[in-house]
Structure 1
Amino acid sequence: MRLSGHLNQLMKPHSFDEIGEFVRPNRLIHALWEGEQPICLDASEIVPYTDGTGFDVFFSLRDRKIRGQATIDALNDRGNEFSVLCGCIKDLKFEYDRVNPHRIKTAMVFRKKPKTTSKDEVASLWIPAQQFDRVYAALRKPTTRIMGALGEGKGIFVNLLLAIEANQPNPAIVRLHDPMDGSEQDYWHIAKTSRGEAETLKAIEAFVAEVDQRVESKIAEPRTIDVFDEIDRIADRKDGKGVNTEILNSTKGMRHIGMKAYVIGQSPSVGKKGMEWADMDNYNAVYFGTAVVTAIEKTPAFSTKKEGLKKRYDKLKEYCDSQNEELGLEGWNEKRLGLLVTGGKAEFFELPDADAIACDWSKLPTKIAQIQAETKTSLPQECQHLNSVVQKTQRNESGIPVKRYRKCKDCGASFTESL
């Protein structure tokens, strides 16, 4: 009798110490042993998570004869039942341990991650979404270069800039050049000037020629914004190897000629694109995703600020990730973090939702026809002074206007008009 009782005790599965949260896997061990078809899982190891939300549990399968996928499938079929039994917030999922195939592993998560960084804590670390106009105002250089991987917010950022432009009293003419026209990632709200790689390459040549012509002729009207999407695709073409250098050289002379450009690319690997990191000083440089880390590491002006910027980035990224998980945000409206570098200064900002700035896109003038490059040797056409303003009016003794002094807004010339 005593021997029989001793054998029964030996046959029972081994449990974990009944201490604190370790009672949870013990409930599973006892339930499987006492079921209609007993399974003996012996306690093996518990590996707690550093954030205190749960632990990985390892069991030893005593009966090697039932080792197989069928046993794992049978356990997973009851994953929800076992999660309730053990007081977990996620269904239990079982698998064989990859290191020791005689052990079975499951994850027991019984509390949510503790709140990390709060909104108030990060408020001083970046420009919040509600103040995105500060980011727009900080883009003082004529060319803004936007870098980041697919889906990290580049298109949202430029669309928000264009929405602000559309809300101006006299918005600039926008010329959109899209070498990937027709792709699934087409996020534009306005008509396109150039479609496909070949047209975009020609548009870059025309853009460079127009910059040269305006600089030479001192023309600043009409105001234009050229948006070059997926510039890396053009730069990787055999006939497009020099486009980054051409845009860079044009950027250096674009002040005071009424032209802006938004250049969008994926790669922050400046050295692979025919440029040096020092060349980025000529742009308003905007980075998203992993490109932010690369910029912090590589920008020469940050050599003494690197560690501080990394800490700010880590804290802001942790906040964005926790908000996305807690609120279930994804796609165009998930929390995103950007870095603006201009004038040697770094400014983190929160990217607003894609539709955060309401506007009437029809009020944004766009140039749909392909722009044509004008060569430096082409003869300038004589201005007809069709767009002029009155600066002074001369009147006779009776107060009747007899002459107006006007100035042309196109060429800047002054002339008189007899009445």
Structure 2
Amino acid sequence: MAKLSKFSQIAVASGLGLVGGLLLGSSGRNLALSIGLSSGGALFGGGLVAFVYDTKLGRVRLDLNSKLYELQNENIKLKALLQTSEKLVSDLQTARETALQTIFALKSELATLKLDLQGANGTVKNLTSERDRLLIKIGELEGEVKILTDLCGEKEAELQEFQTTFSTRLDNELTQEFAAKKSQLIKDEVGKEFDLTSQAFSLLEEMQSMMKEVYDLHQMQRHTLLSTHSQYQSHHQGAIAKKDEAIEALIDLKDSLELRVRILEQTIADGLTTPEYKDFGVDLNGKATNLITEWVWNHLEIPLKGLGFSEGEELVTVGFEYPKSLQGEAIAQRIVESKLEICRVVGIFEISSCFHDPTTDRIILKYRRERPKPLNDETIYKLGLVPASLFGDEIFKATDHKSKGKPTLRIMSATGGGKGIATKNIVAYFLGMPDWEIWLSDPLDGSEEDYWNCPKVAKSPSEAGQAYAQFIKLHKDRQAKRPAITDRFTLGIFDEFDKQHDDDDKKSATEIMTAIRHTKQRQILIGQSGEVGANHWTWDAMKNCSMLFIEDAIGTALKHDKDLGWSLSKKRELLKQYEKFSEWARSKNETLNLPGENAHRIALLVVGDRCTFLEIPSAHKGILRDGAGVIRSSFDATPALPNISIPQYVPQVKPVSHPEIECPHCSSINFRRHSSVKKPGCHRYSCNDCGKTFVARDNRSN
């Protein structure tokens, strides 16, 4: 139709052009011109119409193609929506079926719960009735106790009255009887005397006989009186004893009834009044559980019930039920206080921990049956203990902010715990670092524990305060870009900072703990223990430091796990590692019989969330001298750096192809090859002087 319409329009236009040409040509009456004009008009009209038609047809075609493309896109979207709707219908059907199944299951569970609830209601009613019956029985027993108490009082009063009246009456009766018998005897004697007077001479022998009889009778009466008095005394004492026995019996009965009442009350309260022992058969851990229960009852008078145990790789964990009228934390604390005696009686090596678990409301006790076998050096280092040869490297990284460390280090341990040994090794390490200057402040200079053998900027408490003021001034001068006392990297070591520095110094130390990383400074603050609050610090301030806990201070750190932001699992993992490492160190010290300065010591290095156990090197017994770094002796003059580099304690500062090997524990070069290690290019050596082993580069490698 489109082509036909196009042809028809062209034909009409050509016809009109032809007619127009004829009209124009006929006016001149020239046939050739008329034909030419008519032909030209026809061609022009047809071409014009064809052009206009093609143009409009192209536009229409483009519009139709655009519409068709949009319809195809819509069709694709509709198909996708149709597929989505079908999937949704399928999912809805599946969800409906699942919901119906869940509803059915919930209905079944609800029916079961209703039955259980009905049974529980019945049990509660029975318990309630039993409680009411026991309360009634307790009331009756209290009434009986009251009646018996009143009866005891009455009997005691009657016995007291009888005791008083019986003694008086017996004395009166005996006196009257004695007087009557005496009077009768006198009358008899007088009558006999009159008879004897008239017959004195004739009856002398009879008189003598009668006098003997009178004497015998008198002695018999005297004996009778004495016997009667003795019987009275015996009867009196027997009556008193019977009275006392009756009173004691009543008191025992009263105590027994009161004990029975308390037992009934405790039974109602928590159901555990005496220890309960479980039959574990021949299991040794079960036997130990029952022995612990028995010891606690016999010595602490606390009834426990061993619920069971689980045997781990190293420890045995036991759960105990306890009376709810007592506090679980208090029971656990009393067991911990008596753990040595319990271990001796039960026959176990040690009780590692005992605590109250609030989740299960049980006493949890963990013990080790036998002394653990000490691990060898290679195994202990694989478990995560950093060897003494790398101690200085770890401390340097812990105070280097480029290694995600913190420029302030807190060293904490008890007196004699090894903080001085650790610090002197740190000083020796930094003396091997080029362009470092060390300030050492020792307010207790000259004490028995002083074996630094090096220059110091402070040797008294007052000088220590002035030295720290200089350290603060150095920080401020460098911040303000003013000329400072030194341009070198500066390590300030301040011993006894907790006890010998005032709160103003501690406040200043807190303010610059992290800021000194921008002024080429680091500081080491040495304290007595890990008890932060007692030394006027806060745990928030401690989180801005690296912390080195040595020996006993590690236990303090574990006690403050929440203040350090540790999870319970992390605390338990650290405790497990510490037990292994400390047992290894203790065993090594006992086996080698090492002196205190050479003893193996364990430290815990905490830098933010990172926790690393370190082996403390042995005491550095040499004199500390300037090397690549220098030690400042005063603030009057700046120490000059030496022109040559002196080999120092740590050879890792400037790696060379053949470094000199020395023992990191005692700095001795007298050692022998011990065994191979898995680390490439390294070997384990044994020191001939201190007896310790260490890992270093293989001295045979090229």
TM-score tier by shorter-chain length is 0.5 to 0.7
Residues 1:229 and 2:495 aligned together: yes
Cα distance 1:248–1:349, how it changes in 2: closer, same or farther (>3 A)?
A: same
Q: Deviations 1:310-347 (Å, cap 9, x if unpaired)?
A: 11111111111111111101311101000100122110
Structure 2 residue aligned with 1:367: 632
1:273 positional shift = 2.5
Q: Deviations 1:139-168 (Å, cap 9, x if unpaired)?
A: 222211100011211111111111111222
Cα distance 1:186–1:192, how it changes in 2: closer, same or farther (>3 A)?
A: same
**Which of 461, 484, 503 is matched with 1:241 structurally?**
503
Structure 2 residue aligned with 1:132: 391
Q: Distance in 2 between matches of 1:209 and 1:273?
A: 24
Residues 1:291 and 2:553 aligned together: yes
Structure 1 residue aligned with 2:517: 255
Q: Is the 1:178–1:230 Cα contact (8 Å) retained in structure 2?
A: yes
Residues 1:338 and 2:603 aligned together: yes
Q: Is the 1:296–1:310 Cα contact (8 Å) retained in structure 2?
A: yes
Structure 2 residue aligned with 1:327: 592
Structure 1 residue aligned with 2:199: none
* Paired residue type of 1:190: C
Q: Distance in 2 between matches of 1:189 and 1:265?
A: 21
Equivalent positions of 1:3-402 (< 5 A) are 50-51=348-349, 115-123=373-381, 124-139=383-398, 140=400, 141-168=406-433, 170-217=434-481, 221-235=487-501, 240-298=502-560, 299-304=563-568, 305-355=570-620, 361-363=625-627, 364-370=629-635
1:246 positional shift = 1.1
Number of residue pairs the alignment of both structures matches = 262
Q: Which moved more, 1:153-162 or 1:269-278?
A: 269-278
Structure with a larger share of its residues in strand: 1
Q: Distance in 2 between matches of 1:48 and 1:252?
A: 52
Cα distance 1:134–1:252, how it changes in 2: closer, same or farther (>3 A)?
A: closer
Residue 130 of structure 1 aligns to a residue in which SS? Answer: helix
* Paired residue type of 1:331: G
1:256 positional shift = 2.3
1:360 positional shift = 6.4
Q: Distance in 2 between matches of 1:266 and 1:125?
A: 26
Residue 630 of structure 2 aligns to a residue in which SS? Answer: coil
Residue 526 of structure 2 aligns to a residue in which SS? Answer: strand
* Paired residue type of 2:453: H
Q: Is the 2:625–2:631 Cα contact (8 Å) retained in structure 1?
A: no
Q: Is the 2:439–2:456 Cα contact (8 Å) retained in structure 1?
A: yes
TM score, norm. by length of structure 1: 0.57
Q: Deviations 1:30-59 (Å, cap 9, x if unpaired)?
A: xxxxxxxxxxxxxxxx9685359xxxxxxx
1:271 positional shift = 1.3
Structure with a larger share of its residues in helix: 2
Q: Distance in 2 between matches of 1:178 and 1:365?
A: 17
Q: Distance in 1 between matches of 2:595 and 2:624?
A: 26
1:361 positional shift = 1.8
1:188 positional shift = 1.0
Structure of larger gyration radius: 2
* Paired residue type of 1:126: L
Residue 254 of structure 1 aligns to a residue in which SS? Answer: helix
Residue 604 of structure 2 aligns to a residue in which SS? Answer: strand
Q: Distance in 2 between matches of 1:184 and 1:129?
A: 25
Greater relative contact order (CA < 8 Å, ≥ 6 in sequence): 1
CA RMSD in angstroms, aligned pairs only: 2.7
Q: Distance in 2 between matches of 1:185 and 1:353?
A: 15
Q: Deviations 1:157-206 (Å, cap 9, x if unpaired)?
A: 111111111222x2411111111011111021320111100110121222
Q: Distance in 2 between matches of 1:367 and 1:162?
A: 12
Q: Distance in 2 between matches of 1:114 and 1:252?
A: 43
Q: Is the 1:244–1:273 Cα contact (8 Å) retained in structure 2?
A: no
* Paired residue type of 1:128: P
Q: Distance in 2 between matches of 1:290 and 1:326?
A: 21
Residue 282 of structure 1 aligns to a residue in which SS? Answer: coil
Q: Deviations 1:225-246 (Å, cap 9, x if unpaired)?
A: 11101112224xxxx1222221
Q: Distance in 2 between matches of 1:371 and 1:117?
A: 52
TM score, norm. by length of structure 2: 0.35
Q: Is the 1:163–1:359 Cα contact (8 Å) retained in structure 2?
A: no
* Paired residue type of 1:135: E
5+ residue gaps, structure 1: 1-45, 53-111, 373-419
Q: Distance in 2 between matches of 1:158 and 1:249?
A: 23
Residue 492 of structure 2 aligns to a residue in which SS? Answer: strand
Residue 424 of structure 2 aligns to a residue in which SS? Answer: helix
Q: Distance in 1 between matches of 2:532 and 2:349?
A: 38
Q: Which moved more, 1:209-218 or 1:194-203?
A: 209-218
* Paired residue type of 2:416: G
Residue 189 of structure 1 aligns to a residue in which SS? Answer: coil
1:370 positional shift = 4.0
Q: Is the 1:215–1:254 Cα contact (8 Å) retained in structure 2?
A: no
Q: Distance in 1 between matches of 2:471 and 2:612?
A: 29
Q: Deviations 1:78-129 (Å, cap 9, x if unpaired)?
A: xxxxxxxxxxxxxxxxxxxxxxxxxxxxxxxxxx977333323321231112
Structure 2 residue aligned with 1:396: none
Q: Is the 1:129–1:350 Cα contact (8 Å) retained in structure 2?
A: yes
Q: Distance in 1 between matches of 2:525 and 2:546?
A: 10
